[in-house]
Amino acid sequence: MSNTLGIPRRATLLAAAGLTAAASLTTTGLLATPAAAAPQPLRNDELKEALRRAHARHRRLRTGRPSVNGWQMQKAADADGDIVTMPVAGTGLAVRLRTGDAATVLIHVVRRFHYEVDALGRHGEPNPLEGWVPPSAVRDSRSPESNQASGTAVVIRPGSYPPGVRDGFTEGQRLVIRDILADAEGVVRWGGDDPRPYEGLFHLAVPPGDARLARVAAKVRSWNEAPGAGAGAVPDVAEPARRRRAARYL
């Protein structure tokens, strides 16, 4: 088992044991002399090698450039980094996204779209869903589409809802989309609301570390564990209370 940096658990435990032993010696007075009390460099070759590999992997994957929402673009997916291919439960599809809260919230958006707006991936539909793309595919790092390169955006049917075109959805479908956005409490933005619309695009609208994202992700996880809640429950989005809720995030 490894931690988030990919460091073997055994190496971490060995290092922790060494630090505990050193602290014990200090409290018993065995390291009371200045020479003995001086800090010693790590001597655990396995831990040092794991750290070296982790730093090398991060240098290899990270671009040092953020997408427009502040999340760092990454050069590759499924390469021991933060962006991996994830299944979208109930759809038979998978999408490359940033692990953790970002993926939890965006996958919820995709699942509700699939269940309530229009089913994705039917009859061998080509490219029904797109997540991460290489930074080299991003034409403008100031555009909302740049968030794909940081694993914090999805595009539904890239070939069906092209940038710059409006009215790809019916009024009823737009009502559902508004309800989905209300689930996200403002942490997800729909490209259809941008001055230059991109109606297939949904992306995070908050930077890394924003407490709102963690709160919404926790809510979605609780729904996923409760029968009859979350994506697939198909609520009445025309209900006045839900429409008032959706109006808060216009």
Confidence (pLDDT) at 60: 73
- For 103-129, the DSSP string reads HHHHHHHHHHIIIII--SSGGG-SS-E
Separation between Cα atoms, residue 90 and residue 76, nearest integer Å: 26
In angstroms, the Cα distances linking 158 to 55, 129, 137, 153, 166 are: 35, 7, 14, 12, 14
Residues 39-50: pLDDT tens digits? 555 568 778 777
Q: Inform me whether the pLDDT recorded for 17 exceeds 50.
A: no
Give 149's pLDDT tier (boundaries 50, 70, 90). Answer: very high
Q: Which residue did the predictor score with more confidence, 148 or 37?
A: 148
What average pLDDT does the segment 190-219 reach? 98
Q: Any idea which of 9-18, 38-47, 62-71 has the lowest mean pLDDT? A: 9-18
Separation between Cα atoms, residue 113 and residue 95, nearest integer Å: 14
* Residue 170 tokens, joined: 């019916």
Residues 88-138: pLDDT tens digits? 999 999 999 999 999 999 999 999 999 999 999 988 788 999 999 999 999
Residues whose CB is less than 8 angstroms from the CB of residue 231 and which lie 6 or more positions away in sequence, other chains included: 89, 90, 108, 111, 112, 114, 115, 223, 224
- Closest C-alpha among 148, 136, 137 to residue 68: 148
* Token pair 């092209």: residue: 162
Confidence (pLDDT) at 63: 82
Residues whose CB is less than 8 angstroms from the CB of residue 42 and which lie 6 or more positions away in sequence, other chains included: 15, 48
Give 229's pLDDT tier (boundaries 50, 70, 90). Answer: confident
Q: Which residue did the predictor score with more confidence, 199 or 234?
A: 199
Give 24's pLDDT tier (boundaries 50, 70, 90). Answer: very low
- Closest C-alpha among 32, 213, 203, 51 to residue 132: 203
Separation between Cα atoms, residue 9 and residue 158, nearest integer Å: 41
Confidence (pLDDT) at 245: 92
216: left (phi over 0), alpha (psi -120 to 50) or beta: alpha
Confidence (pLDDT) at 158: 92
Q: Inform me whether the pLDDT recorded for 218 exceeds 80.
A: yes
In angstroms, the Cα distances linking 160 to 42, 91, 155 are: 56, 18, 10
Q: Is 88 exposed, middle or buried (0-12, 13-18, 19+ CB in 10 A)?
A: buried
Q: Which residue did the predictor score with more confidence, 8 or 127?
A: 127
- Closest C-alpha among 65, 70, 22 to residue 43: 22
* Residue 181 tokens, joined: 């956005």
* Residue 221 tokens, joined: 């996880």
Q: Which residue did the predictor score with more confidence, 39 or 29?
A: 39
Separation between Cα atoms, residue 60 and residue 52, nearest integer Å: 12
Q: Inform me whether the pLDDT recorded for 170 exceeds 60.
A: yes
Half-sphere exposure of 123 (CA within 13 A, CB side): 0
